[in-house]
Amino acid sequence: MRALLYTGEGRIGLSNDVHVRDPGPGEVIVHIHACGLCRSDLSVVHGKIPWPAPAVLGHEGAGVIEAVGAGVTKIKPGDHVVMHTVANCGHCAHCESGRPTHCRETLGNRTTPFSLSDGTPVSNFAATSAFAEYTVVKQDQVVVIGDDIPLKAACLIGCGVLTGVGAVLNRAKVRPGDTAAVFGIGGVGLNVIQGLVLSGASRIIAVDTVAEKKALAEQFGATDFIDATQGDAAEQIRTLLPHSKTQTTGTFGSGGVDWTFECAGSPRALKSAVEALDWGGGAVIVGVPPHGSTIELPINPIAYVDRTITGTRYGSSRPHIDIPMYIDFYRQGRLKLDELITKEYPLADFETAFADLEAGKLARGVLAF
């Protein structure tokens, strides 16, 4: 079958020599129809995320069930599904309490469900591997959706939507009337904006270094846009939302927003996101910076006025609850999926697609099989 095969740092190519094994007990084969492009895949290719080669990357997929293994009773061939990366065990304390992203079995979940003709084993990635015509995953990693949902739109839920919207609804639990700033207006940042709209945030400030993203941010619900190349972003946010009419910055840095979401994986942006918080505000780390990244922050302005810095993994998602809910939001016109797709590419044009993603030209690109 055709698959994009990662063969080592900086090397990925289209191969016709990848084979997927039959599904085992509790597993399913998914015929991939569409897969979104995510920077996490590029990070593997560029060596920022260490991963053994050879491997099939891709983790934002949707398709149709091709076959099921023994013991699979709730999913059948022909079902349209969205895949997710949380290959949780289902029975630990975290799974039982509705926090599957805390399950330890979901970290470093590497198997070798693929092989080459010469018998060389090929790793999966993020427990999904959607850059292939077929993949094998645990039955709990697919959520059945209606045949009325376009698969090229549905695939985006598998990472960008779960991560971005989930960071707002599940991790931050933003309340109606809260104010927020979103740093990095790519695919995940746009979904954070969508989550803020769903939460009823009163002010949503989009921050990016590319001024042309202003219209896109506003299309998805941003009320303001800040070009971070035109001065300190935190100061610009406090100018928009000062703590008083006469003084922009008060004691311990008052003024600013209730929530910030750093989506670019930039330590510099994260520092600015913390500095933009009002008293009692919280910064949520959504983006993935290079391994070992650090920032330096003063302690007092955080500790003594109830500011927080928190991480979120995969939007703290509960896929079997969240994916059906987001599908309903899409049907109701409350969640934009089609509008996220900047461009659709045939699999053979993956090099152009990756270049466009790296150049910042895409909200989301989709590889079509």
As for how many domains the chain has, the answer is 2
Which domain CATH number covers 198?
3.40.50.720
Q: What is the pLDDT of residue 160?
A: 97
Share in percent of the chain as helix, strand, coil (round to 5): 30, 25, 40
Does residue 278 contact residue 203 with C-beta atoms inside 8 Å?
Answer: no
Residues 275 and 296 in one domain: yes
Residues 218 and 247 in one domain: yes
Is 122 a domain residue?
yes
Residues 15 and 146 in one domain: yes
What tokens were used for 322?
Answer: 């969240």
Q: Which region, left, alpha or beta, applies to residue 129 given φ > 0 means left and ψ of -120 to 50 means alpha?
A: left
Which domain CATH number covers 88?
3.90.180.10
Q: Residue 344: give the domain boundaries.
A: 3-158+337-368
Residues 238 and 265 in one domain: yes
Q: What is the pLDDT of residue 9?
A: 86
Q: What is the pLDDT of residue 103?
A: 94
Q: What is the pLDDT of residue 139?
A: 97
Intra-chain end-to-end CA distance of the chain, in Å: 11
Residues 308 and 354 in one domain: no
Residues 6+ apart with CB under 8 A from 286: 163, 164, 167, 188, 192, 261, 262, 263, 312, 315
Residues 10 and 154 in one domain: yes
What tokens were used for 135?
Answer: 């993949």
The pTM of the full predicted model, rounded to 2 decimals, is: 0.95
Residues 103 and 174 in one domain: no
* Rounded Cα–Cα distance for residues 92 and 97 (Å): 9
Q: How many CB atoms lie within 10 A of CB 342?
A: 16
Residues 179 and 301 in one domain: yes
Q: What is the pLDDT of residue 349?
A: 96
What tokens were used for 141?
Answer: 């990693």
Is 332 a domain residue?
no
Is 319 a domain residue?
no
Is 330 a domain residue?
no
For the chain (369 residues), the mean pLDDT of every run of 10, in chain order, is 94 96 98 95 89 96 98 96 95 94 88 96 96 97 97 97 98 98 96 98 97 96 97 96 82 93 96 97 94 92 95 97 98 97 96 93 93
Does residue 213 contact residue 206 with C-beta atoms inside 8 Å?
Answer: yes
Q: What are the φ/ψ torsions at residue 111 (nearest 5 degrees)?
A: -130, 180
Residues 140 and 106 in one domain: yes
